[in-house]
């Protein structure tokens, strides 16, 4: 195992412990954890804003890596397969929003469709950035097949 993965896991445990202490997770069982305030900010707003910030930061870093590396070997060699992969990587994870809406007892509305489109764009863009950054080439070394 790579030592950097160990450091990332250890850092995650340390940050998780600090967040648990800040949120005072081990408080009274009758307290509503989402109504608590941390530094004058509600916990739900803090969690939401942290997720948005981390997602934006991750996309920004991945975009930077993709601009520097530009691994285009597979998309240039097989554009149809790469397009199909991208569409599937966008549609399949994003379609879960419809199941969640129905399973939780709500009706599918225009807002649900907007959320689907946002999730589709996010996952499809993530797939493209992971390809261009060389991540997929590292996982699946590119080899030309005779079936193309």
Give the pLDDT confidence of 114-129 residue by residue, as tens digits: 999 999 999 999 999 9
- Closest Cα to residue 75, out of 124, 132, 126? 132
Rounded Cα distance, 55 and 33, in Å: 23
Q: What is the pTM of this model?
A: 0.69
- What pLDDT does residue 8 have? 74
Q: pLDDT-based confidence at 24, cuts 50/70/90?
A: low
Rounded Cα distance, 45 and 39, in Å: 12
Rounded Cα distance, 134 and 73, in Å: 10
- What pLDDT does residue 28 have? 53
Overall average pLDDT of the 94-117 stretch: 94
- What pLDDT does residue 41 have? 75
What's the token pair of residue 26? 């081990």
Give the pLDDT confidence of 40-71 residue by residue, as tens digits: 777 778 788 888 888 889 899 999 999 999 99
């Amino acid at each position: 195992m790579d030592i950097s993965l160990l450091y990332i896991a250890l850092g995650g445990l340390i940050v998780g412990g600090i967040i648990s202490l800040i949120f005072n997770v081990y408080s009274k069982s009758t307290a509503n954890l989402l109504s608590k305030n941390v530094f004058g900010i509600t916990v739900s707003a803090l969690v939401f804003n942290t997720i948005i910030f981390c997602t934006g930061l991750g996309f920004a870093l991945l975009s930077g890596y993709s601009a520097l590396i530009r691994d285009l070997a597979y998309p240039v060699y097989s554009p149809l397969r790469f397009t199909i992969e991208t569409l599937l990587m966008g549609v399949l994870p994003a379609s879960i929003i419809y199941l969640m809406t129905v399973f939780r007892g709500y009706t599918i509305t225009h807002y649900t469709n907007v959320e689907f489109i946002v999730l589709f764009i996010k996952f499809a863009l993530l797939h493209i950035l992971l390809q261009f950054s060389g991540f997929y080439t590292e996982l699946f070394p590119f080899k030309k097949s005779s079936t193309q």
